Chains A and B, each alone.
Chain A
Amino acid sequence: MDPLIQNLYNVLTQVQGYIYPNEVELHWSLLIVLYPYITGLVAGAFILASLERVFRVKEVRPTYELSLITALALLLTATLPLVSHLTKPFRAYEIMITPHPTSAMAIFGFVYLWYLMVVLLLEIWFDYRRDFVIWSQEKTGIMKWVYKILTLGVMDVSPETLKWDERLGRIVTIIGIPSAFLLHGYVGFIFGSIKAFAGGSGSDTPLLRS
């Protein structure tokens, strides 16, 4: 017998009271819960980085780069449990190309992209641009080209330009703080816009989640 069905029979013996037959299967399980857990870490790491960047908390200076890179790495993996939870994972891109505007989940795609592209990647790029330029001159072979591409052609490392990098990076971080709350709190909105659960839905769910 199919392991899913075998498992459902086991679950059925544990059901107390009555639930709709189609709801014996738990539809949003561990993989879904992992996602808010990971974005929680992303938001946390980002806030740590911004403590130094925006609020100038000197004690956390040594963790600055580490926390930004951690945020990026975790954000990239955050969608993996979500995509692997889909029964048709190869159709996942449809959310981005044919989003349905009334669906909280479709808009999530854009919240995620905003955070990834506008906040994290941009901030990291401003921080590392000088290094990219230097590395693209020092390294040889394929890595030279990788770094060259990463500079996006902006090779100017005069103190004047570096000051601009710093300033723009700071602005991005300031935008990033509310965005980190948004990204994490948005999960609450996905759950909150469901009418069917008595406990999980409500206008306060996004706040409680963030």
Chain B
Amino acid sequence: MDISTFTWTIFAILAIAIAVAVLNFLGNRTKKDTFLLLGLSDSGKTSLFLKLRYGSLVQTHTSMKENEGHFIINDNGIPLVKNPIHIVDVPGHEKLRFKFSDFIPITRGIIFVIDSSTCAKNSRQIAEYLYDIFAHKNVKNIPTLIACNMSDMITALPPERIRTILENEINHLRKTRTSGLDHQDSVDEVEYLGYESENFKFEHLENEVVFEKCSVKDGEINVIKEWIIDTLQGK
């Protein structure tokens, strides 16, 4: 092979790689357009992701890996905003959740999906996940929508009720988590949720937290789209 072709090829590739890296870096710094779909396993995150993206209902199983994509929030194909946003569906399995914190630095908003029909039974698990999210040191200012999914089920609880259940549960967790044993070496930086003297309420958080009911199955997800758009526009 010709030496000059060789050098030239390498040079060109390096140049492109650097350009891409720089653009990427700048891009990440200037705009946060990532929305995270979080929540327990089987709450309907992947279904919601697919519904938002393609407008249709698709059969799903437990996720082992994130689903992510850049796309424009649309209503039956009609774009509702100009620019595509980045949506990441993080698997809800306990062993895979930790991935969410990788995305926090670029996150504009969190959509926490709950199965309203099993919420009472799973309240502790839901609250523990929420606790981990809100106590994360960099989540303080990220607006959060608690999407109470599966409202089509007869057993679904209304968002108001879910809110109180979770507040009670987080109230307990606040006590037990702060008196747990130390971690092996360094102290973890976690935030105390709410006010020490009062029972926990979501409005005590610095984050804006909204509860809405929705049903991916029945296509009732307009509240979610509206919330995303409002959050993007800084409302």
Chain A bound to chain B? no
Give residues in A with beta carbon < 8 Å to B: none
